[in-house]
Amino acid sequence: MAAIMLQGTGSDVGKSLLVAGLCRALANRGLRVMPFKPQNMSNNAAVTPEGGEIGRAQALQALAARVPLHTDMNPVLLKPQADRTSQLIVQGQVRGTLGSANFREGRRSLLPEVLESFARLQAACDMVVVEGSGSPAEINLREGDIANMGFARAAKVPVVLVGDIDRGGVIAAVVGTRAVLEPEDAAMIHGFIINKFRGDPALFADGYQAIADRSGWRGFGLVPWLGQAVALPSEDAVVLEKRRDSRSGRLLVACPILPRIANFDDLDPLKMEQDVEVVMVPPGSPIPVEAGLIVLPGSKASLADMQTMRQQGWDIDILAHHRRGGAILGICGGYQMLGHRLIDPAGLEGDVREVAGLGLLDVETEMGHRKMLREVRGSALGAGFTGYEMHMGRTQVGNGLQPFALFDDGTHDGAISPCGRVIGTYCHGLLGSTALRKALLLRLSVASQERDYAASVDRALDAIAQELEQHLDMDGLIALAKGGA
Ligand SMILES: NC(=O)CC[C@H](N)C(=O)O
C-alpha cells in the first residue's frame, strides 16, 4: 500500500502539522489514511482505546485522518524524565528506563517492532503518512537510526524533505542536507516542501528554483504560514509575549512551566474562552498575583518537578494565592503535588525518593510500577465529562475530602478541599468537555461561551487541509506514495 515520509531539514520545521494537514486532506479526498511516526520523543502522550500510549501529535494526526488511535502509529516513544534518562514506551507499553547512551546503541534492536507496526498500518489503509524526527542531516545520529533514513530505507518509503523558510537559510538547509547525506540515503529523497512562508510567494520563485536546481529534487510546493494552527492542541509550552487584553472581569489562569511538564494541552480549551486569559509562566518569573486560577498540569517526574517548584519560589506564590482566596486545579502530576507528600520508593521517576508537596489537599501519593492508562467518563461539579488517565502514582485521599469526580463505573477520582477552591484530579482532557468547563468557570464567576472545543479543532484541521490542497502538489505526492522508492 502507498506510503510517504516527511523528514525535516531540522527540528521544528513544522513536519507534524504538515502530516496532520495531509492526513485530513487525503481523508477528505476519500482515502483511508493513517499517520505513523517510528520514534518520538515527548512527554505529551495520548491514551489509545486498547490502553496503550502514543505521542499526542500522532493522536491529533489520527483525528485529522478520522481514524481511531492505535499504538502502531507511534511504536517507539521516549518520555524524558531526568536529564539523561527517558521512559521507553514500545508499541504503547512501558519497556523500561533508558539512558541516552543506551538508547543510541539499543535502538537498532527496536527496528523489527517498528517495521511490524508499520506493516500492520499499511495493511489496514490506503496510504500511510510517516513523520520523521529531527533531521536526517544529523548524520552523527545515523548509525542505528530508526527515526529517519534508517526507517525509510528498511521500509522502502519515499521521502519528501521539509524546509522552514521562517527561520532563514532554507536554501542552504535543503541543498546542504543533500550534501551531507550518504548517496543511498539521499536517493530516498524525491522532493522538497518549503514551509512557513509569509508574504508574496512570487518573491521566492527564484529561491525555490535555486533549491530545485542545486538539489536535483523537485518541489512539491511552498506552504504559507498556517495561522489556523493556533486552534490546535499545543505541542510546546510557549510563553506568550504580551497579554492580549487585561480588561477587568476576565479570569487570568496561570500555569507554571515545570521542566518535565506533560500534557499541558489540557489548558487549550480555556484559551478559546473570551473571558479567560491563559499565561504560561517560565522559570525565573513569579506567578502573577492577578491570577484567579492556577493550573498545575501533568508532570513526567512529579517529585523532581516539585523540587523545582520550590527552587523557583512558586510554592510561596501558590500558597499566597490560596490565602488570598484564589483557586487551584492540579491535574495528574499537579494533583500529586497538591498533597502532603510524594514518595517513590523504587526510584521509578529518578533519584529523589521522597518530597513534601504543597499540602493544600489532604492526600499522599506513592509511585508504583503499574502504569494506569485508560479513557474515562463520568461527572464532576454536576457536569458530565470524558478524559483519560496516564500515571504511575496511586493517591490516598484523606477521609474528610470530597472526591472530585464520579466515574461511570461507580469509582471515584481526585479530591476537592473543604474550602472548595483546591481541586485535584487524575483526569486529563477534562476541560475539553463543554459542560465541565462551564461548571468550573462558573465557580470562578466567569461565564463560558460554551463553544465546542473538539469542533473548533476539527474546523482548523479542515482549513489547514484546504491550504495544503491549494499550495501543495497533492496529486504528485499521492503518485509518489503509490510508486514506492
Ligand atoms: N501524567 C502525569 O502527570 C504523571 C504523574 C506522575 N509522574 C505519575 O507517573 O504518576
Residues 471 and 441 both lie in one domain: no
Cα–Cα distance measured from residue 237 to residue 278, given in angstroms and rounded to the nearest whole number: 11
Q: Is residue 425 part of a domain?
A: yes
Question: Given a cut of 80, is residue 142 above it in pLDDT?
Answer: yes
Mean pLDDT of 10-21: 96
Contact 376, 388 (CB under 8 A): yes
Residues 289 and 352 both lie in one domain: yes
Q: Could you tell me the CATH number of the domain that includes residue 167? A: 3.40.50.300
Residues in CB range of 327: below 8 A, 6 or more apart = 292, 293, 294, 421, 422, 423, 443, 444
CA atoms within 13 A on the CB side of 77: 26
Decide: helix, strand or coil at residue 137: coil
Across 1-150, the runs of DSSP E, i.e. the strands, are: 2-8, 33-36, 39-41, 45-47, 53-55, 76-82, 85-90, 93-99, 127-131
Q: Tell me, what's the pLDDT at 480?
A: 98
Cα–Cα distance measured from residue 368 to residue 38, given in angstroms and rounded to the nearest whole number: 28
Ligand 1 centre to CA of 132 (Å) is 27
What percentage of the chain reaches a pLDDT higher than 90? 91
Q: Looking at the CA of residue 300, tell me the nearest atom of ligand 1.
A: 7
Q: Ligand 1 — pocket residues by CB below 6 A? A: 262-263, 298-300, 302, 332-333, 336, 349, 367, 390-393
- Among residues 165, 179, 229, the alpha carbon closest in space to that of 24 is found at 229
Q: Looking at the CA of residue 298, tell me the nearest atom of ligand 1.
A: 3
Contact 15, 58 (CB under 8 A): no
pTM of the model: 0.94
User: Residues 68-106: pLDDT tens digits?
Assistant: 999 999 999 999 988 788 999 999 999 988 887 778 778
Q: Is the C-alpha dihedral spanning 222, 227, 233, 234 positive or negative? A: positive
Q: Looking at the CA of residue 297, tell me the nearest atom of ligand 1.
A: 3
Cα–Cα distance measured from residue 429 to residue 456, given in angstroms and rounded to the nearest whole number: 15
Residue positions annotated with a catalytic role: 332, 428
Burial 60-93 (b: 16+ CB within 10 A, else e): bbbbbbebebbbbbbbbbbbbbbeebbbbbbbbe
Q: Tell me, what's the pLDDT at 1?
A: 79
Q: Tell me, what's the pLDDT at 239?
A: 61
Q: Tell me, what's the pLDDT at 415?
A: 98
Q: Looking at the CA of residue 371, tell me the nearest atom of ligand 1.
A: 9
Q: Which residue, judged by its Cα, is nearest atom 7 of ligand 1?
A: 300
Ligand 1 centre to CA of 98 (Å) is 18
Q: Which residue, judged by its Cα, is nearest atom 5 of ligand 1?
A: 333
Q: Is residue 73 part of a domain?
A: yes
Decide: helix, strand or coil at residue 162: strand
Question: Given a cut of 70, is residue 484 above it in pLDDT?
Answer: no
Residues 297 and 204 both lie in one domain: no
Domain count, the chain: 2
Residues in CB range of 353: below 8 A, 6 or more apart = 303, 343, 344, 345, 347
Residues 221 and 79 both lie in one domain: yes
Ligand 1 centre to CA of 422 (Å) is 19
Q: Looking at the CA of residue 302, tell me the nearest atom of ligand 1.
A: 7
Ligand 1 centre to CA of 19 (Å) is 28
Ligand 1 centre to CA of 84 (Å) is 18
Which of 89, 306, 392 for mutating ligand 1's site (highest number of atoms within 8 Å of CB)? 392
Mean pLDDT of 233-242: 65
Asked if this assembly's ipTM is beyond 0.90, the reply is: yes
Residue with cell 461548571: 439
Ligand 1 centre to CA of 67 (Å) is 27
Long-range contacts at 313-319 (CB < 8 A, ≥ 24 apart) = 313/286, 314/256, 314/281, 314/286, 314/287, 315/358, 317/286, 317/287, 318/287, 318/294, 318/358, 318/360, 319/358, 319/360
Contact 251, 437 (CB under 8 A): no
Residues 431 and 470 both lie in one domain: no
Which of 390, 395, 425 for mutating ligand 1's site (highest number of atoms within 8 Å of CB)? 390
Q: Tell me, what's the pLDDT at 485?
A: 46
Residue with cell 500529586: 336
Q: Which residue, judged by its Cα, is nearest atom 4 of ligand 1?
A: 391
Q: Looking at the CA of residue 331, tell me the nearest atom of ligand 1.
A: 3
Residues 334 and 463 both lie in one domain: no
Ligand 1 centre to CA of 230 (Å) is 26
Q: Tell me, what's the pLDDT at 246?
A: 57
Ligand 1 centre to CA of 322 (Å) is 23
Q: Is residue 452 part of a domain?
A: no
Mean pLDDT of 192-210: 95
Q: Is residue 242 part of a domain?
A: no
Q: Looking at the CA of residue 365, tell me the nearest atom of ligand 1.
A: 10
- Among residues 189, 194, 188, 187, the alpha carbon closest in space to that of 211 is found at 194
User: Residues 299-340: pLDDT tens digits?
Assistant: 999 999 999 999 999 999 999 999 999 999 999 999 999 999
Residues 468 and 441 both lie in one domain: no
Question: Given a cut of 80, is residue 237 above it in pLDDT?
Answer: no
Residues 135 and 257 both lie in one domain: no
Q: Is residue 153 part of a domain?
A: yes
Question: Given a cut of 60, is residue 245 above it in pLDDT?
Answer: no
Lowest mean pLDDT among 11-25, 226-240, 241-255: 241-255
- Among residues 461, 342, 379, 360, the alpha carbon closest in space to that of 418 is found at 360
Ligand 1 centre to CA of 297 (Å) is 10
Q: Could you tell me the CATH number of the domain that includes residue 328? A: 3.40.50.880
Q: Is residue 245 part of a domain?
A: no
Which of 77, 302, 309, 370 for mutating ligand 1's site (highest number of atoms within 8 Å of CB)? 302
Q: Tell me, what's the pLDDT at 317?
A: 98
For residue 297, give its domain range: 251-445
Contact 278, 431 (CB under 8 A): no
Contact 298, 334 (CB under 8 A): yes
485 or 37, higher pLDDT: 37
Residues 279 and 346 both lie in one domain: yes
Which of 87, 295, 306, 332 for mutating ligand 1's site (highest number of atoms within 8 Å of CB)? 332
Residues 170 and 108 both lie in one domain: yes
Residues 69 and 109 both lie in one domain: yes
Instruction: Kindly report the average pLDDT of the chain as a whole number.
Output: 95
Q: Tell me, what's the pLDDT at 32?
A: 98
Q: Is residue 34 part of a domain?
A: yes
Long-range contacts at 177-180 (CB < 8 A, ≥ 24 apart) = 177/9, 177/135, 177/136, 177/137, 178/214, 178/215, 178/216, 178/217, 180/137, 180/139
Question: Given a cut of 60, is residue 371 above it in pLDDT?
Answer: yes
Residues 198 and 322 both lie in one domain: no
Question: Given a cut of 80, is residue 455 above it in pLDDT?
Answer: yes
Nine-digit cell string for 286: 513569579
Q: Is residue 6 part of a domain?
A: yes
